[in-house]
Structure 1
Amino acid sequence: MSENNPVLNIAIFVLFVGVTLVVVLRASRNNKTAADYYAGGRSFTGGQNGSAIAGDYLSAASFLGITGAIAVNGYDGFLYSIGFLVAWIVALLLVAELMRNTGKFTMADVLSFRLRQRPVRMAAAISTLAVSFFYLLAQMAGAGALVSLLLGVSGRVGQSIVIVVVGALMILYVLVGGMKGTTWVQIIKAVLLITGAGVMTFWVLALNGFSLNQLLDQAVQVAGADVLKPGKQYGANPLDFISLGLALVLGTAGLPHVLMRFYTVPTAKEARKSVVWAIWLIGLFYLFTLVLGYGAISLVGSDTILAAPGGVNSAAPLLALRLGGPILLGIISAVAFATILAVVAGLTITAAASFAHDIYGSVIKKGKADPAMEVKVGRITVVAIGAGAILGGVGVQGQNVAFLVALAFAVAASANLPTILYSLYWKRFTTRGAVASMYGGLISAVLLIVFSPVFSGKKTSVFGPDVDFAIFPLNNPGIVSIPLAFFLGWLFSIIPSKTPESAELAAEMEVRSMTGFGAEKAVSH
């Protein structure tokens, strides 16, 4: 990294921020109603929304983490790409269209449609805030380490300043632009990320005569045949990968910031179209990561990557430096910076909408909140969440917080997806079943991760090897918490209740979810 040019990197960062701020300010002119602020006025086409979904979904963990995982662990690293991509098939076939038909702004609109509003909305809001916080904390901590490395900023104070700047920009984007501004930032970021990764992929393949076989042969010559064999990372405990795979594949369809994107399009047809667009864009990107990962092995070397500041996350920047020198590194650095900004902005507006719309509007005000006041509460929540994310990011510096992304997926798959599927497809589902499923999935996922080797007992644990209270042997709780949440939803629904659910609302939800009839009506019962 001695060739790194922080001044060039800062110049490209400032250019990106300037362009996106202009876009956000232009988008903010039309933020007059709650639908404008939370759902971008439902004015985006399927192609635009699909690009924004790709921008929201392809985080720094996707670009830097997966490229690094392939560069260090070969075949096992690419399993992440497969898991993340397959997850979109679940979202397309089971969730996207029905969610758009049934809801209004948030996941809780769907979950509480035919059930009792207050307990279900409260549980859904808590789950949404938990997933958003875990994901946000990981992104903010990663932003501090990554951007400090690329800008040549060293020390805890320097990283803290970087985290404050990222947090302040995030607050500004969401406060001013709402969902419309955030969406355009995500579209710009998706174009930059896929284009940048595509250029590097083309370059790596060109150096190998556009032959994937030759690239893989080069990687084998540098790192040995193990990089093409399964088991390098998960060979010791295959259950760990099964648990992680379940969380990745099922969690995507329950991620609140992804689900909220389905409400920014005018019709269910456009929602379905946006997911198809997202699958193509995300699939193309993950094919790029295969080439970039093995390209990093052959051109940089796994040992060099692990020895660099940032460890596995430095694989893509080092490959860019090796291919195009400081200029390409600066561009890829700006792309990584854009990636973090777009994802944290999407998470923040989702968490703010959940608090303002579900807790304030539906629980505190019992569905009678003034829409303008609800948006005002949402804006205040943005500032509070942004401040919390900044403080959290500064506080966890130096900690191994990579597990938080996997935990966010595990909570989404455990607390959210079972309730979503039961609400959409099972007529006998009840309020008690929904509450038990959401709280049970959330609490079990968090407790199992706390009592796993992620927190204690190993060199890579949060508390290190000297403290050991790990009683759960796996690094991801999905294999236990997901079936448990499905079971609790079923069990508490079949237990007879003195207050049966409304058969009329169940019938209305079935008609609306399947046909879209009445989808524009406010959910106010």
Structure 2
Amino acid sequence: MTTAFFAQEAAEISAGNPILNIAVFGAFLVVTMYLVLRAGKSTKEASDFYTGGGTFSGRQNGLAISGDYLSAASFLGIVGAVALTGYDGFLYSVGFFVAWLVALMLVAEPLRNVGRFTMADVLSFRLKQRPVRVAAAIATMFVSLFYLIAQMAGAGSLVAVLLNIHDLFWQAVVVGVVGILMIVYVLIGGMKGTTYVQMIKAVLLVAGVLAMSIMVFVSIKGGFSTLFQEAINSHAASQNIVKQGYEASQIMEPGMKYGASVTSKIDFISLGMALVLGTGGLPHVLMRFYTVPTATEARRSVTWAIVIIGAFYLMTLILGYGAAALVGPDRILAAPGGANSAAPLLALELGGSVFMAVISAVAFATVLAVVAGLAITASASIAHDVYHSVIRKGQSTEAEQVRVSQITVVVLGIIAIVLGVLAMTQNVAFLVSLAFAIAASANLPTILYSLYWRRFNTAGAVASMYTGLISCLLLIFFSPAVSGSPSSMFPNADWALFPLSSPGIISIPLAFFMGWFASIITKPDNLEALSAEMEVRSLTGVGVEAPVDH
């Protein structure tokens, strides 16, 4: 049994029925576009465009948060990572889920009480507006961009499997189409349209994953022990796994990916730090707390999100091992999209072409919902934080802000398309981990200091954000993720000076340190009244409806 044989077999069956796949895709796009058009009719003010007018309940927002958070990385990337590296791949699920405890306990309610539209509203509440808002907007753009790149890459991999496209040019065309659809969704529907798409997508995704999990156990005619044994047997027969020097039994224990050396173990710790701390600094997740009317509903929405997201991530373990057992590592790696093709191929194995088309349409919906939410967040940050608060000094009209937001969406979409094409060979779960690393480095230290440390000042905020952002970007650029390995963005070049793929273990502590150090060596901002007001607001919610401009 050779790799060439598996490549041929994957090429023959991986696409299912392309016409059926396109038909299901088309039906979903028609339904969601109808919802977006309806929502667009009621999007008249800046608050409607940014936060949907703050009219969603905790349950609705919890569904939307789940739809926003359960990205292509969660479905395509993690299932592929578990299928190929077993326990080590499941660590992504653990990190993504545990991160919500940080968001629930430290961030959700205080953020909703203090802010209005964006993360920078919180950071600049008791600090000097202009430098803090500019730094926050830059950090938001980079986090959103890295997250967008992952979703674009996931879309390219998904449609490549569906239509059996091995040619990188046509995969790049698919990435371009996803970017255009994202731009259209956001320009027409704003946050209201995006939220409805995210709610529908969350229900469909969890239902689809639940159905696949049940079908895995039916297919193997056994429980977890049978599933794990079948996965081990499949790995033992894999030519690719053998070539990489892995023992088949390692799929059930740590060390298949993060255990071969001391460097890889440190890389795992770095990845874990980024995943656990990153959610509390993700601008597109934080912005969802403003789409509910009260802080109580914000807390309730996080509780709903934790239940839905937790159930989903537990099922990714079943799907990952199911893909290893029923599809096999060689077929996954030989198919268009590589590791990201594990979930669609498993759906094809379990339920045939129709089921694969439905599951893939849900995955495509996942991509569209997440990229639309990211685009809204980035555009709001530029329009509200930079244009309105810094350039126009609070004197712009809401119509102007919305227009600037729409222009930002178009520009961001074009950049994301170009970078998404370059990243198509990367596992999307790993790409998202880089966005988490930037969020945990550039945003979370400043958010926590702003909410809980009264001595924190503008100098500390600016130093923390820029240090976290620049150090993280530099370490990523000089890491094996960008060059120096066959799976890098630039596989034929090598300027990898930093040995770790995930930079969090350096950049996150450095950002916390610089925020503290710059604050203690510089004078306080002397805004004691605002500090006291922020403390009262964040803990009690008193005065939430009175935005502060200074």
TM-score range, shorter chain: over 0.9
Tell me the alpha carbon deviations over residues 264-305 of structure 1, each in whole angstroms, 9 at most, x when there is no partner. 000000000111111110100011111111111221112222
1:293 corresponding residue in structure 2 = 320
Matching residue's letter, 2:253: K
- For the aligned residue pairs, the C-alpha RMSD in angstroms reads 1.6
The range that moved more, 355-364 or 147-156, is 147-156
Other structure's SS at 2:443 match: helix
1:192 aligns with 2:243: no
For residues 369 and 36 of structure 1, the distance between their equivalents in structure 2, rounded to whole angstroms, comes to: 17
Tell me which of 85, 97, 118 is aligned to 2:97: 85
Q: TM-score, normalised by structure 1?
A: 0.96
Letter in 1 for 2:251: V
Partner of 2:120: 108
Query: Shift in Å at residue 391 of structure 1?
Result: 3.6
Structure 2 unaligned blocks of 5 or more: 1-9, 236-247
Q: Find out whether 1:373 has 2:400 as its counterpart.
A: yes
2:535 corresponds to 1:523:
no
Distance 1:297 1:500 in 2: 57
Note the alpha carbon deviations across 1:85-144, whole angstroms, 9 max, x for none.
000010000000010000000000000000000000000000000111111122223322
Q: Distance in 1 between matches of 2:493 and 2:399?
A: 50
Moved more, 2-11 or 417-426: 2-11
Once residues 328 and 132 of structure 2 are traced to their aligned partners in structure 1, the CA distance between those partners, rounded to angstroms, is: 51
Instruction: Please tell me the residue identity of whatever aligns with 1:408.
Output: A
Tell me the matched-pair count: 522
Contact 2:161 2:335 in 1 (8 A): no
State the match for 1:178 in structure 2.
190
Residues 455 and 128 of structure 1: is their aligned pair in 2 closer, same or farther, counting only changes over 3 Å?
same
Q: d(CA) in 2 for partners of 1:511 and 1:311?
A: 51
1:59 aligned to which of 61, 71, 93: 71
1:233 pairs with 2:257: yes
CA distance in 2, matches of 1:417, 1:398: 29
| 1:13-32 aligned within 5 A | 13-32=25-44
**1:341-420 alignment, distance < 5 Å:** 341-394=368-421, 396=422, 400=426, 402=428, 403-420=430-447
1:505 aligns with 2:530: yes
**Mean alpha-carbon deviation: is it higher for 374-383 or for 484-493?**
374-383
**In the alignment, does 2:331 pair up with 1:304?**
yes
Q: Tell me how far apart the structure 2 counterparts of residues 115 and 91 of structure 1 sit (CA, whole Å).
A: 23
Structure 2: how far apart are the matches of 1:245 and 1:511? Answer: 33
Pick from 319, 326, 334: which aligns with 2:346? 319
Q: Distance in 2 between matches of 1:97 and 1:398?
A: 37
* Structure 1 residue 309, shift from structure 2 partner: 2.0
Give, in whole Å, the separation in 2 of the partners of 1:462 and 1:84.
Answer: 24
SS state of the match for residue 114, structure 1? Answer: coil
Query: Quick one: structure 1 residues 452 and 158, their matched pair in 2 at CA, closer, same or farther if it must change by over 3 Å?
Result: closer
Q: Does 1:118 align with 2:130?
A: yes
For residues 489 and 40 of structure 2, what CA distance do their matches in structure 1 show? 41
Distance across 1 between alignment mates of 2:254 and 2:176: 41
Cα deviation per residue 1:233-277 (whole Å; 9 max; x = unaligned)? 100221100000000000011001000000000000000011111
1:123-522 aligned within 5 A:
123-209=135-221, 211-223=223-235, 224-236=248-260, 237-394=264-421, 396=422, 400=426, 402=428, 403-464=430-491, 467-497=493-523, 500-522=525-547
Match of 2:57 among 12, 34, 45: 45
Residue deviations 1:434-485 (CA, integer Å, cap 9, x gap): 0000000000001111122223332333333x64332222111100000000
- The offset of 1:172, in angstroms, is 1.3
Distance (Å, rounded) in 2 between the aligned partners of 1:474 and 1:426? 32
Identity %: 63
**1:297-337 deviations in whole A, cap 9, x for unaligned?**
22111222222222111111111111111011111110111
Greater Cα offset, 385-394 or 189-198: 385-394
> Counterpart of 2:305 in structure 1: which amino acid?
A
Secondary structure in 2 matching 1:196: helix
